[in-house]
Amino acid sequence: MTQLRTAVIGAGKMGGIHAKVYSKLDNAELVAIADSDIEKAQALAEKFDCEATADPVSLIGKVDAVTISAPTIAHHELAMLFVKNGIPVLIEKPLASSVQQGRDIVELAKANNVIVAVGHSERCNPVVQAMKRLHIEPMFIEANRVSPYPFRSMDIGVVLDVMIHDIDIILSLANSKVKRVDAAGVNVIADEEDVCNARIFFENGCIANVTASRLALKTERKVRVFSRQAYLSLDFFRKDGIAIKADKNIDLVKWIREHQEKQDFDFSQVNWPDLLHIEQLQIEDAEPLKVEQQSFLNAVLNKDARPEVTGAEGLAALECAEQILASIKAHQWQ
């Protein structure tokens, strides 16, 4: 099996997780950890028996693929360095600090024919993968992603830190251009927004209502999807979900209509869930980051393959996030 020489840029928590996954993949050889804090890089490199460096430029010519897990503010400079030198990159979400920076990366990658993947790892969540196999066409999507304060990613607000996961998933489900966005948010602890609610309207008529908070008392990551084909209720945190499919409940609709015509029938005695045909989604037990990295490396090795989330898709999520941030600013409390 062909092995790709890989490196991780950023020796923080996520960098450590990426390094661990790379060290276990058959088609990857982890050769280096880079971080401006050389002591952090050395500590992580020692753990995985690889090189440590404070200078990413020194990796040019030594690596075949790179994961960028540095702070968001550094994504643009690092991605441009490697893409310019023909080295594929997997960039932790968000793609960049701004749409223009994201566009720079995507355009340079296209010009140089270099793979750029974006680490929207929630797209690789087994629940999302199971939902993807249903090929539904949603008309309304409701997503809630809340958690206690994480004390990390304090350089960005909750939209780019947390909500962008659901933005990416929603864009892939809606499969339509964004028509307009209405949003409100408030900062309590950080300089940027800590809580946000956004409503996204798509050109095909689909509507999404998205809430994100890093000030909650518990962690919750849930999505509900309404479509002509089915109603889905999904829990990304617990990794489970149900589907109530329209075609499987046709007889139920007929039964209800028939009994509505009977004036003496007492519906209060009917247990509604007992009547429904509810399917538990078949969830495979897979580590999202492993799926993400395998998809990235497969795209590097096989020109007919593509990463789970492309640079263009990461840019689309960033563009939508910027629209949400602009709407928050327009509805700012005085």
Residue 153 pLDDT greater than 90, yes or no: no
Q: At a CB cut-off of 8 Å and minimum separation 6, what does 326 contact?
A: 181
Residue 283 pLDDT greater than 70, yes or no: yes
pLDDT of residue 103: 98
45-59, 144-158, 288-302: segment of lowest average pLDDT: 144-158
- Same CATH fold assignment for domains 4-121+288-308 and 124-287+319-330: no
Residue 43 pLDDT greater than 70, yes or no: yes
pLDDT of residue 303: 85
Average pLDDT on 114-138 reads 92
Which pLDDT tens digit goes with each residue over 240-282? Answer: 999 998 888 878 778 888 888 887 888 887 887 777 888 898 8
User: Is the separation of the CB atoms in 155 and 178 below 8 Å?
Assistant: no
Domains of the chain by residue range: 4-121+288-308, 124-287+319-330
Token output for 167: 């933005």
Which pLDDT tens digit goes with each residue over 85-111? Answer: 999 999 999 999 999 999 999 999 999
Cis upstream peptide for 150 (omega within 30°): no
Average pLDDT on 300-327 reads 96
**Could you tell me the pTM of the whole model?**
0.89
Cα 259 off chain centre by:
45
Cβ-based neighbour number of residue 199 at 10 Å: 15
Question: What is the CATH code for 124-287+319-330?
Answer: 3.30.360.10
Q: Which fold has domain 4-121+288-308?
A: Rossmann fold (3.40.50)
How far is 137 from 206, CA to CA, in rounded Å?
Answer: 9
Lookup result for tokens 């350089």: 155
